[in-house]
Structures are given as structure tokens and as C-alpha cells.
Amino acid sequence: MNTTLVLAGFFDQGFFRGLLVVGIAFCWGFALYDLVTRPMSGFKKAIWLVVILILPILGTVIYLVAQPLGGAGSSPGVQALAQRDVDQAIGEPPRRI
């Protein structure tokens, strides 16, 4: 059996379609996970959930583009650490966190 034919059969269009499906499923799952863990009102979450479930690919892309990833001001712990660094830079005694 020719090894070229074996490799051509393995890397047929089905293999690449499978990779595409896995990537789309990963993005969809990440969008749902991010939606559940993101602090936002229940009404907004419900609207985004409907958009993601009704339009799985397009809704996921729109959600991931529209929602900014958690930046420096996203969690209270990060804000407290940033404030501590500012206090140290200007010479104030550290506050209790």
C-alpha cells in the first residue's frame, strides 16, 4: 500500500472539517462560560444567552467581539493591588486589604 494514499485519505476534507467543528465548539463553550461568570445584570445575560443559542456561530462571534476581556479594572483584588502600588510609590503607609 502506498503511504501517500494513506496520508491523503487521513487528511481528507473530513479531518479539516472536524478541526473546524472543534474550534467552533470551543469558542461557543468559552462564550457561554464567559457569559455565566461575567458580572452583568440578569436581563443582559438573558439577551446574550438567547443571541448565542439562537445564532451559535454568529452570536458567539458578536459576543466575543462586543464584550471586552477582563482588564485591569475588572476585579476588586486587582484594583486593591494597584492602589497599594500607588500608595507605595507616593510614600504612604500600606492600607489593609
pLDDT tens, position by position, 33-70: 999 888 888 899 999 999 999 998 999 999 989 886 65
The span from the CA of 88 to the CA of 77, in Å, is 17
- Hey, how many other C-beta atoms are within 10 angstroms of the C-beta on 94? 10
3-state secondary structure of 40: coil
Residue 96 has pLDDT above 50, yes or no: yes
Find the mean pLDDT for residues 25-34.
92
Q: Which residue has the cell 486587582?
A: 78
Look over the chain and give the mean of its residue pLDDT values, rounded to a whole number: 78
Residue 2 has pLDDT above 80, yes or no: no
